[in-house]
Amino acid sequence: MKGNIKHSVVFWCFNVAGDKWDIDKTCEIAKSLGCQSVEICGPEEWPMIRKHGLTCAIASNGMPGAPFMKGLNNPAYQDQVIAVTAKMIDECAAAGIPNVIAFTGYKWKNAEDPSSGEISLAEGADNCVAGLKKLAVHAEKKGVTVCLEHLNTRDGSHPMKGHPGYQGDDIDYVANIVRRVGSPHVKLLFDIYHVQLMNGDVIRRLEECKDVIGHIHTAGNPGRGELDDNQEINFPPIMRKLVEIGYRGFVGHEFIPTRDPLAGLKQAIQLCDV
């Protein structure tokens, strides 16, 4: 490992496909490949991560089900989201975990019913800012950072490849929400796969968002598969851009394996280790 990129393995990707790695196997493989983290895990997985000498770069927010649906943009769910996220911040602080994920939520007033009417973009942004400001007070006290994620709405082929209805599908919209909060403990989760689908121009957008980036995810496009020559994103110069802008956080590999998962993970790490 060259030491410029801190690699992390996103647990759920390797727990749903192929031979379904459990947390012990995921940690063992991550460590053997030179990764420092296994991420998007709950407190029940953290003892095994620590046992292997790893960290969890970013934790889930604690919302049940599909946590990206019911988000901070919706007054119907905001109190619940704040409560469970604050609890997760407490647990992360106690365990030395630096980041907790957050979501804008779906744009529908009933997150699961498109016929329920839409929350406007302006109202959704205002609600997110207000909710994140409340979380920021707690996060700052605990030394944990809340990372708001941008997701794509273009791919409806699979529940984890895209999220039609998600309000925060424009990277500038999400980055500006983070800037309006104005806290060093509220940042942007810049997912290269989702940005490529919705906005493109990834390297320039990294430059534009460098002031608010708190975490990075990778995956190949189209299909959220391996970072191989069947997909269109050129990852080495993107990683070099991260080094250039002084990004010191983790890069979480969040692709869904379509072949041997170990081979795909090795390839991703080698390609991104610039």
CA angle (155 as vertex; 125, 131 as ends), nearest 5: 20
In-domain check, residue 139: yes
In-domain check, residue 147: yes
The mean pLDDT value for 57-71 works out to: 96
- What distance in Å separates the CA atoms of residue 183 and residue 145, rounded to the nearest whole number? 9
- What distance in Å separates the CA atoms of residue 135 and residue 145, rounded to the nearest whole number? 10
**Is pLDDT of 93 > 70?**
yes
The domain spanning residue 32 has which CATH number?
A: 3.20.20.150
**Is pLDDT of 88 > 80?**
yes
**Is pLDDT of 127 > 80?**
yes
What pLDDT was estimated at residue 177? Answer: 98
In-domain check, residue 1: no
What pLDDT was estimated at residue 16? Answer: 82
- What distance in Å separates the CA atoms of residue 257 and residue 223, rounded to the nearest whole number? 10
What pLDDT was estimated at residue 19? Answer: 72
pLDDT band at 18 (very low <50, low <70, confident <90, very high): low
Please state the φ and ψ torsions of residue 132, each to the nearest 5 degrees. -70, -30
Burial class (CB in 10 A: 0-12, 13-18, 19+), 87: middle
| Residues 214 and 188 sit within 8 Å (Cβ to Cβ) | yes
Quote the tokens at residue 166.
Answer: 């998600």
The number of domains in the chain is 1
* Residue linked to tokens 């400001």: 133
In-domain check, residue 178: yes
- What distance in Å separates the CA atoms of residue 17 and residue 258, rounded to the nearest whole number? 8
What pLDDT was estimated at residue 200? Answer: 95
Task: Express each pLDDT in 240-262 by its tens digit.
Answer: 999 999 999 999 999 999 999 99
**Is pLDDT of 1 > 80?**
yes
The mean pLDDT value for 153-164 works out to: 96
| Residues 148 and 177 sit within 8 Å (Cβ to Cβ) | yes
Which element (helix H / strand E) includes 137? helix 121-142
In-domain check, residue 207: yes
In-domain check, residue 71: yes
Which element (helix H / strand E) includes 29? helix 23-32
Q: How far is CA 260 from CA 96, 150, 206, 222, in A?
A: 32, 28, 31, 19
In-domain check, residue 165: yes
- What distance in Å separates the CA atoms of residue 187 and residue 102, rounded to the nearest whole number? 10
Q: Considering the chain, what percentage of its residues have pLDDT values greater than 70?
A: 99
Burial class (CB in 10 A: 0-12, 13-18, 19+), 262: middle
What pLDDT was estimated at residue 145? Answer: 98
Residue 149 contacts by C-beta under 8 Å, 6 or more apart in sequence?
Answer: 68, 101, 102, 103, 168, 174, 188, 189, 191, 194
CA angle (247 as vertex; 243, 250 as ends), nearest 5: 105
> Which domain range does residue 100 map to?
6-272
